Amino acid sequence: MRCQPLRRALSVSVVQRKKLNICFTISDVDWQITKDIFGIAASIATVLGGFAACFAAYFAYSGVSTWQKSIRLQKRYDYIEPMHIALDGMLEKRFAFRSSVAKYSEDKINYREFSENVSAFTQYQSDLKRYSSLLKHELSSSERKQLDRYFAKVNDGFNDFLGTKPVEVGSFDKRLESFNGKHFVSAVQEYKGYLNSLK
């Protein structure tokens, strides 16, 4: 029976020693190492913050460039739509324009009727040139060259339709096509197709 209290006393002293050892170890911490660890953690946080700032700048730049691109596309659309209207108007008024010019040179039309027919066509023509000029500012150099090429085809087709372009000696069908403005119509359709591809 005496052994029991002795064992208890021994176990209590061992526990107290362990507690003392723990307290001793905490007070014996090397604070220089702790400062180094916190310094390393702060450096890592700074580097991660730098990466986060770079990603934020990249996303901001891509957002701005997307916004600029959408503005450029909207401008293109705003210029192309009136060009379509002008081209359709030119097609619609082409016969009245040609007839009025022919009649006026032969004094077979009064000035009021002539000016109505001619001014309607020339207004569409003026709109086409104006919006074409504005559109060019929004295009790359290769797109501008293509636009000029299609515009030149429209002018050639129109001159062919008016009869101001020299007529090649050929069949009656070719002359009839020129008279009806087939080349002008096809040139306008090609031009409109190219404009649609720019939207």
Write out the chain's pLDDT in tens, 199 residues.
444 554 454 444 444 555 545 554 555 556 677 777 888 888 898 888 888 888 888 888 887 778 878 888 899 999 999 999 999 999 999 999 988 888 887 888 888 888 888 899 999 999 999 999 999 999 999 999 999 999 999 999 898 888 765 555 555 455 555 667 788 999 999 999 999 999 8
Task: Note whether residue 46 is domain-resident.
Answer: no
What torsion do the CA atoms of 152, 153, 154, 160 make, to the nearest 10 degrees?
110
Q: Which amino acid is residue 46, in one-letter code? A: T
Task: Note whether residue 9 is domain-resident.
Answer: no
What is the CB neighbour count within 10 angstroms for residue 78?
13
Task: Note whether residue 59 is domain-resident.
Answer: no
Judge whether 131 and 157 are in contact, CB under 8 Å: no
Q: Which amino acid is residue 64, in one-letter code? A: V
Of 162, 152, 163, the closest CA to residue 187 belongs to 152
Structure tokens at 195: 């404009």
Q: Which domain holds residue 129?
A: 71-198
Task: Note whether residue 53 is domain-resident.
Answer: no
Task: Note whether residue 87 is domain-resident.
Answer: yes
Task: Note whether residue 37 is domain-resident.
Answer: no
Q: Where are the alpha helices (DSSP H) in 106-140?
A: 111-136
Task: Note whether residue 19 is domain-resident.
Answer: no
Q: How far apart are CA 168 and CA 143, in angstroms?
A: 32
Q: How far apart are CA 44 and CA 52, in angstroms?
A: 12
Task: Note whether residue 26 is domain-resident.
Answer: no
Classify the C-alpha dihedral 67-68-72-73 as positive or negative.
negative
Q: Is the pTM of this model over 0.85?
A: no
Determine the pLDDT at residue 101.
84
Structure tokens at 73: 């596309």
In the chain, how many domains are there?
A: 1
Q: Which amino acid is residue 120, in one-letter code? A: A
Structure tokens at 154: 């429209």
Determine the pLDDT at residue 39.
83
Helix, strand or coil for residue 109?
Answer: coil
